[in-house]
Amino acid sequence: MKLDALRIIDKARKEGRKILLEPEAKTICRLYNIPVTVFDVATTANEAVEKARKIGFPIVMKIISPDVVHKSDVGGVLVNVKNEEEVKAGFDKIIENVRKKLPNARIKGILIQEMAPQGIETIIGGINDPQFGPTVMFGLGGIFVEVLKDVSFRVAPISKDEAIEMIEEIKSCKVLKGYRGYYKADIEGLAVAIEKVSHLISELPIDQLDLNPVFAYEEGKGVKVIDARIILQ
């Protein structure tokens, strides 16, 4: 799996790219058995329809461009696309939105994904810290990480038990344990994903990895990476 991941990294480097495209980053996650959304790539509207049909409606469509960092900021994400007409219209709409905001953006295609059911939003990250080396990070999504900076770190690689400690360490951990309207999240599944990310970041020449969001489902129902970004060393 490491060799296949290195092949993807090599190809990006040859094209002069340090930021991997979402399908590349998700393929690498998948090689490390980290659960990601089902996805496929389309370069024409007809191909998008065909791939959407294969995945099953509703689907999500996203821009694939090395020049777009935050896809939704440029109108590059359409969720809950319900039928073939909407796929066709969505294909053109996304390209139009991106062209308007970033006229010079290189567009590599449109990503077609299963629309994952909403889960509790978490973030799993990795950085190659100049002092500590490969490091893994965990937090809840949204305000928990942006405003409260409620995250935990470990030097990678770590075991599943250490990943559980990381999860229990964040102040907002209650949210994952069935606090007020929240269901009890699959902490075991999250820990396994964090453990795998810690191996990924230790073994590959990656500077930064952002899995944001990762949806955590009910106990026993696992987790799913919704968006993935990898920056190479």
Return the SS3 of 231.
strand
**Smallest distance, ligand ADP to C-beta of residue 43, A:** 19
Using CB under 6 A as the binding rule, whether residue 72 contacts ligand ADP is answered as yes
Provide φ and ψ at 129, rounded to 5°. Answer: -75, 135
Spatial distance between the Cα atoms of 69 and 44, rounded to a whole number of angstroms: 22
Amino acid at 160: K
Among 34, 87, 140, 226, binds ligand ADP (CB under 6 A): 226
Burial letters 118-137, b for 16+ CB under 10 A, else e: ebbbbbbbbbbeeeeebbbb
Residue 107, contacted partner among ligand ADP, Mg ion, none, CB below 5-8 A by kind: none
Judged by CB under 6 A, the number of residues near ligand ADP is: 14
Among 113, 135, 152, 198, binds ligand ADP (CB under 6 A): 113
Q: Which stretch binds Mg ion (CB under 5 A): 89-97, 153-161, 192-200, 209-217?
A: 209-217
Pick 70 or 171: Cβ nearer ligand ADP:
70
Using CB under 5 A as the binding rule, whether residue 121 contacts Mg ion is answered as no
Pick 128 or 212: Cβ nearer Mg ion:
212
Q: Which stretch binds ligand ADP (CB under 6 A): 11-19, 27-35, 108-116, 124-132?
A: 108-116
Spatial distance between the Cα atoms of 210 and 192, rounded to a whole number of angstroms: 16
Of 107, 108, 113, 137, give the one whose Cα is nearest residue 123.
Answer: 137
Using CB under 6 A as the binding rule, whether residue 33 contacts ligand ADP is answered as no
**Smallest distance, ligand ADP to C-beta of residue 114, A:** 6
Spatial distance between the Cα atoms of 185 and 119, rounded to a whole number of angstroms: 9
Using CB under 5 A as the binding rule, whether residue 86 contacts Mg ion is answered as no
Give the N- to C-terminal CA distance of the chain in Å, as an integer: 19
Asked if 194 and 186 count as a contact pair (C-beta separation under 8 A), the reply is no
Among 23, 140, 227, 228, binds Mg ion (CB under 5 A): 227
Using CB under 6 A as the binding rule, whether residue 213 contacts ligand ADP is answered as yes
Which residues of this chain interact with Mg ion, rule CB under 5 A? 212, 227
